[in-house]
């Protein structure tokens, strides 16, 4: 098999959470461009995402799920519905996430719990559900979306930092257990990306300028910047990668 053939995702089925817009939408479309059928999971409609996937000649399905409220049994049921519709689940991208900003001395229990539920708890239990399917079959790829705050503390985002630091830890822990089952578990750590989550930062001219001054690439990342890495980590080209936390940050961490 040539190296380009190893990047092909033809006949693969991917589940991408938070696929209705932003990073999740771009990664879902990128996987479809590489040949995968894609299940787009989000609380918001995924009509646009599914239309882009279908236009590429790939099958698309939308699962409208509120990960803030979904039980473990419900997450397992959603994975079973994917198997019933597509016959397999080869790739899971745990992208869905929220952020709540407030000083640590004023941070509310609700903001803490909501962020941990979506950014961490759902990541683990969806990985568990998908991992059971992959372990019973021929393996698969699990790709978590970490953050610059998997490496740093940040300011005004204690629950987000806690969750994303834990996502890096879970990535390593699951990779340790599942690598011998032909399941690769890795993570992407996006830098400062132009998404809804960063809209308040980009609207603050002083904060935005300070961020840009530290990024060697001198620009905010775009969702499309994640297409290449997600296809790589989902493909046979990354079969010997386990527990990697891959920054896609324009050089932020190097500064």
Cross-strand partners of 142 = 92, 185
pLDDT of residue 21: 97
- The pTM assigned to this predicted structure is 0.97
Residue 212 resides in a domain? no
pLDDT over 90, % of the chain: 96
Which domain, by its residues, includes 33?
A: 3-194+222-247
Domains identified in the chain, total number? 1
Burial of 205 (0-12, 13-18, 19+ CB in 10 A): exposed
Residue with the two structure tokens 């935005």: 208
Query: What is the model's pLDDT at position 198?
Result: 87
What is the mean predicted confidence (pLDDT) over 94-115? 98
- Beta bridge partners, 109, equal none
114: pLDDT strictly greater than 90: yes
CA dist 201 to 18, 131, 211, 216, 218, Å? Answer: 21, 36, 9, 18, 15
Higher pLDDT pick, 207 / 66: 66
The answer to whether position 208 is within a domain reads no
- Does residue 124 fall inside a structural domain? yes
Is 254 within a domain?
no
* 214 located within any domain: no
Instruction: Report yes or no on 228 lying in a domain.
Output: yes
pLDDT in tens, 229-243: 999 999 999 999 999
pLDDT range class, residue 249, cuts 50, 70, 90: very high
In a domain, 27, yes or no: yes
To the nearest 10°, the Cα dihedral for 192, 197, 199, 205? -50
Q: Considering the domain boundaries, does residue 76 fall inside one? A: yes
- Active-site annotation holder among 107, 160, 192, 240: 160
Read off the CATH number of the domain in which 240 is found.
3.40.50.720
pLDDT in tens, 14-39: 999 999 999 999 999 999 999 999 99
- Is 107 part of the annotated catalytic residue set? no
% of residues, the chain, pLDDT over 70:
100
Contacts of 12 (CB under 8 A, 6+ apart): 31, 35, 36, 37, 88, 90, 91, 234
């Amino acid at each position: 098999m040539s190296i380009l053939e190893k990047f092909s995702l033809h006949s693969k089925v991917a589940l991408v959470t938070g696929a209705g817009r932003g990073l999740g939408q771009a990664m879902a479309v990128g996987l479809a461009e590489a040949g995968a059928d894609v299940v787009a999971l989000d609380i918001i409609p995924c009509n646009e995402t599914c239309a882009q996937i279908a236009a590429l000649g790939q099958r698309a399905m939308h699962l409208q799920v509120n990960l803030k409220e979904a039980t473990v049994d419900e997450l397992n049921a959603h994975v079973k519905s994917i198997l019933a519709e597509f016959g397999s689940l080869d790739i899971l991208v745990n992208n869905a996430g929220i952020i709540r900003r407030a000083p640590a001395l004023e941070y509310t229990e609700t903001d803490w719990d909501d962020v941990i539920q979506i950014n961490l708890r759902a990541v683990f239990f969806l990985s568990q559900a998908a991992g059971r399917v992959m372990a019973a079959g021929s393996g698969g790829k699990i790709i978590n979306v970490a953050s610059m705050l998997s490496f740093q503390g940040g300011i005004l985002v204690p629950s987000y930092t806690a969750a994303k630091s834990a996502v890096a830890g879970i990535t390593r822990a699951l990779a340790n257990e599942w690598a011998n089952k032909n399941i690769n578990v890795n993570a992407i750590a996006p830098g400062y990306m132009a998404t809804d989550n960063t809209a308040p930062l980009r609207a603050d001219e002083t904060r935005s300028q300070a961020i840009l001054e530290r990024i060697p690439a001198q620009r905010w990342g775009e969702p499309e910047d994640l297409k290449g890495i997600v296809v790589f980590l989902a493909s046979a080209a990354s079969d010997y990668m386990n527990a990697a936390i891959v920054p896609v940050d324009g050089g932020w961490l190097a500064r």
